[in-house]
Copies of this chain bind each other. A is one copy, B any other.
Amino acid sequence: MNVPPQRDPSENLPPLLANFPVALPLPVIWGDQDAFGHVNNTVFLRWFEAARVAYLERIGLDRMPPAARTGPILARVTCDFRRQVNYPDQVTIGAKVARLGNTSLTMHHAIFSAAQQAVVAEGDSVVVLFDYEEQRPISLPESLRAAIRALEGAPEL
């Protein structure tokens, strides 16, 4: 297997993303552009999703229905577009948990552009732990909270 090894977050991390425990580098591809000639807004949300899933994998929350009966579900997403992104470029998407609720967690994202050396977008995802069979939220287990606190280095979360 030649799958690239799990990225060491300290390696090549843009300083502007230094406080994100998970940061995913992705290339901008030609097809990410829309009729305006810059990266389409939905691609930013796809990038958030990719970083969100990378984070959930790090805390063991990546077993998805139908394999598992419970799993994460996206309840809310926001994105502030600060700058247009052009092809070609390389972006890095940070993900960090900003808040732990009873049945949900709020993840914060920032997208860094290598070409612009700037954060081009920021946003939040609210992820709910969901029982897909019962169709209702369930409490985040303590093991999951512990994994998040360890990854964030934030015992107060």
Contact = CB atoms under 8 A, between A and B. Distances in A.
A42 interface: yes
A49 B117 CA distance: 27
A42 B33 CA distance: 13
Nearest to A130: B84
B80 A76 contact: yes
Q: How many copies of the polypeptide does the oligomer hold? A: 4
A2 interface: yes
B49 A36 contact: no
A35 B50 contact: no
B53 A36 contact: no
The winner among A1, A45, A84 for most chain B CB atoms within 10 A is A45
A74 B81 contact: yes
Contacts of A42: 31, 42, 45-46, 49
Given A27-B26, A30-B49, A64-B36, A41 B115 contact: no
B33 A46 contact: no
Interface in A78-115: 78-81, 84, 87-90, 114-115
Interface of A: 1-4, 26-27, 29-31, 33-37, 40-42, 45-46, 49-50, 53, 64-66, 71, 73-81, 84, 87-90, 114-115, 117
